[in-house]
Structure 1
Amino acid sequence: MARNTRSAAAKRGKLSSKAAAEPPRWVEPELCRLMEKAPSGPRWVHEIKFDGYRMGARIEHGQVTLLTRSGLDWTGKYPETAAALSKLPVESAYIDGELCGVRPDGVTSFSLIQAASDSGSSSLVYFAFDLLFIDGEAIGFLPLGERKARLEKVLESPPHGIAYSEHDSADGERLRKAACEHGLEGLVSKRIDQPYKPGERGTWVKSKCLNRSEFIIVGWTDPEGARVLIGSLLLGYYDSIGRLLYAGRVGTGMSQQTLRNLHEKLEALAIANMPLDEKPPRKSRFGSPLELSRVHWVKPELVAEVTYLTWTADNLLRHTVFVGLREDKPAEEVRREMPRS
């Protein structure tokens, strides 16, 4: 069983140029800033934006630990991936990557990884895109280009289920449009001359094909008609001063099994009082009126990933589709993403 707890040593890793006896216990991953368009120029390289779980892989003498972006140990949840990583030609290493379900056409799918048991019934691939430590040497201080060159050498003949994330130095916006045409989520663009910066945003940026973000589930409404268990999920996010604000509703994209799973999880989190700091509007220009008396409120703990068309003028999501639960992201970290031009 996966251990969904932080270890006592799971703190932000300190990256330095000094030799180290063992890889860090956990390194807070470098994060991406959202931009409307992909950047271009000689200092930028671009990778496909994957649709899975961000995962650090700590390897020490054949023992592998898979760590989420918040430091949770998920080794027990994906034992086949851990076993594959243990076959890499290293004594010790710390790799940054993303664990994904992959469709037959090669496109990553978040729904596949959620459904995977990692027993061979689903195709899971760990895409490695950075190397922070190898065989007693901490290398996070090196420029990205040098780190990736060393990672590529490690992954010259990777075991099944492990892949090197290629990059391209061509025009970023042209590559983003090509990715969109192929049904991909977007691009991640990185400064090739920069060191790894745990927890920071700026030298890595993401540009998406779809509007897609994470929101906190704050409640649900009763179903209508033939629908069962849940009508729609009420969504929220924290603003810059820590207020939990209403973002809108999502009612599409959920199968019968998903509705049952969500209902079970949400019932366990039920509370009497609204967790939002401001009441949601009863009416909006889009969608049916919200009857607060029929809303079931929950503790703001579950995080949902949602696609949407746009934000309305009154700061509500429009044309939403449920993608899945983000078990790897704490609710307190959810903020409204504002793309920069």
Structure 2
Amino acid sequence: MKTRRRSAFILPCIPTLVDKPPEGDRWTHEIKYDGYRTQIHLAGGHARAFTRNGHDWSMKYAAVLAASRELITRDAILDGEMVVQDESGRSSFKKLASAIRWEGSSLVYYAFDLLGLDGNDLTKQRCEDRRLRLHELIGDPRPTCALQFSQAFEGSGADFFAAVEKMDLEGIVSKRRASIYRSGPSLDWVKTKTYITGEFAVIGYERKRGAAPSLLLAEETDAVMRYVGRAIPAIPQNQRDELWQALEFLHADRLATPIGGGNKGVVPVQPLLKVMAKHLRGEEKLRHATVIEVLMPR
């Protein structure tokens, strides 16, 4: 009896975070979807889905895999992002976990690369050639289909990023057209993220000699305080002086919520002072965060 050979999981190519998108006709640009990186393997009429770390989540993504088998009749390995969209069509990371558990039919998979086709390894082919074959395989967008091709923008990276920022999307991914697919961190794929501003409570601070002072921030959800990361004050000096005076007055014996390791030099404060912090969108913890306004208690 002949057994069906299963394709092996391929470690994904990870884009490098940059401050601004690259320019020039050697690059192409796509929307960065706010979801879970997913690899779909189609072989012999069967389909499997793997997480970024290679865990088999086929049961969780059953509806998307069924749509993939219906649309694609050939053996293929797809690289893409599993998302759920809000009422405006934007991918919503906050709703994703709930959708996976309770509303699998609401999931949408945006495929942006083709790593294998009919048993042939495509990872050594040019990125633009792989994407052309992927587009031929999936076709143009179908509004009700759970499998979509990630469209590219062929103009200025800066212009595309500005448009994405206005739409309140997470950012863009830029890819070198001639690059092959390499697993792990890559400079041939780079991501540029947009910023978002939020309100947070200060639960502590740290002032080290030779380093920029930082505030430890938390957000309160359902009366539960959750540590979200650090931010550097980027406010005028007079406001900064008021900030440190207020924090000294609010000294506490312990932190309002655990923050994990690395808190040896942290000074806990009562979580009564709120700040507005600007940070990268789509991150579990605050990244590149700066405090832009202090909301003094009255």
1:36 corresponds to which residue? 19
Question: Of 210, 219, 226, which residue of structure 2 is paired with 1:251?
Answer: 219
Give the 3 Å change call, closer, same or farther, for CA 318–56 of structure 1 in structure 2: farther
1:64 corresponds to which residue? 47
CA shift for structure 1 position 93: 1.0
Structure 1 residue matching 2:285: 3-state secondary structure: strand
Deviations 1:18-48 (A, max 9, x none): xxx9563211110011111111101100000
1:222 corresponds to which residue? none
CA shift for structure 1 position 86: 1.7
Q: Distance in 1 between matches of 2:120 and 2:150?
A: 22
2:161 corresponds to which residue? 176
CA shift for structure 1 position 123: 2.6
Deviations 1:131-170 (A, max 9, x none): 0001121111000000000000110166721100000121
Q: Distance in 2 between matches of 1:247 and 1:177?
A: 30
CA RMSD of aligned residues (A): 3.4
Deviations 1:262-318 (A, max 9, x none): 9xxxxxxxxxx995245151158x9669xxxxxxxxxxxxxx713567247xxxx99
1:243 corresponds to which residue? none
Q: Percent identity over the alignment?
A: 28
Where does 1:76-87 land on structure 2 (aligned, <5 Å)?
Answer: 76-87=59-70
Structure 1: which amino acid aligns with 2:32?
K
Structure 2 residue matching 1:200: 3-state secondary structure: strand
Where does 1:45-64 land on structure 2 (aligned, <5 Å)?
Answer: 45-64=28-47
CA shift for structure 1 position 91: 3.0
Give the 3 Å change call, closer, same or farther, for CA 138–129 of structure 1 in structure 2: same
Deviations 1:86-124 (A, max 9, x none): 223333111000000111211111012122146657632
2:181 corresponds to which residue? 196
Is the 2:202–2:272 Cα contact (8 Å) retained in structure 1? no
Asked whether 1:306 is paired with 2:285, we answer yes
Structure 2 residue matching 1:96: 3-state secondary structure: strand
Question: Of 140, 144, 162, which residue of structure 1 is paired with 2:147?
Answer: 162
1:186 corresponds to which residue? 171
| Structure richer in strand, relative to its length | 2
- TM-score where L is the length of structure 1: 0.61
Is the 2:78–2:114 Cα contact (8 Å) retained in structure 1? yes
Structure 2: which amino acid aligns with 1:62?
G
Give the 3 Å change call, closer, same or farther, for CA 71–318 of structure 1 in structure 2: farther
Asked whether 1:147 is paired with 2:126, we answer no
Q: Distance in 2 between matches of 1:38 and 1:124?
A: 29
1:209 corresponds to which residue? 194
Deviations 1:313-337 (A, max 9, x none): xxxx999xxxxxxxxxxxxxxxxxx
Q: Distance in 2 between matches of 1:83 and 1:203?
A: 32
Is the 2:63–2:104 Cα contact (8 Å) retained in structure 1? no
1:132 corresponds to which residue? 115
Residues matched between the structures, number: 237
Structure 1 residue matching 2:181: 3-state secondary structure: coil
Deviations 1:186-243 (A, max 9, x none): 111010110001113211111111269xxxxxxxxxxxxxxxxxx9999xxxxxxxxx
Greater mean alpha carbon deviation, residues 95-104 or residues 155-164: 155-164
Is the 2:78–2:113 Cα contact (8 Å) retained in structure 1? yes
Structure 1 residue matching 2:113: 3-state secondary structure: strand
Structure 1 residue matching 2:135: 3-state secondary structure: helix
* Runs (4+) off by over 6 Å: 231-234
- TM-score where L is the length of structure 2: 0.69
Where does 1:180-329 land on structure 2 (aligned, <5 Å)?
Answer: 180-210=165-195, 248-252=216-220, 254-255=221-222, 276-283=261-268, 305-307=284-286, 310-311=289-290
Q: Distance in 2 between matches of 1:184 and 1:33?
A: 18
Q: Distance in 1 between matches of 2:203 and 2:11?
A: 30
Structure label with greater radius of gyration: 2
Deviations 1:63-94 (A, max 9, x none): 11111111111111121112112223333111
Structure 2 residue matching 1:73: 3-state secondary structure: coil
Structure 2: which amino acid aligns with 1:202?
L
Unaligned runs of 5+ in 2: 205-213, 227-257, 274-282
Q: Distance in 2 between matches of 1:23 and 1:130?
A: 19
Structure 1 residue matching 2:22: 3-state secondary structure: coil
Give the 3 Å change call, closer, same or farther, for CA 161–119 of structure 1 in structure 2: farther
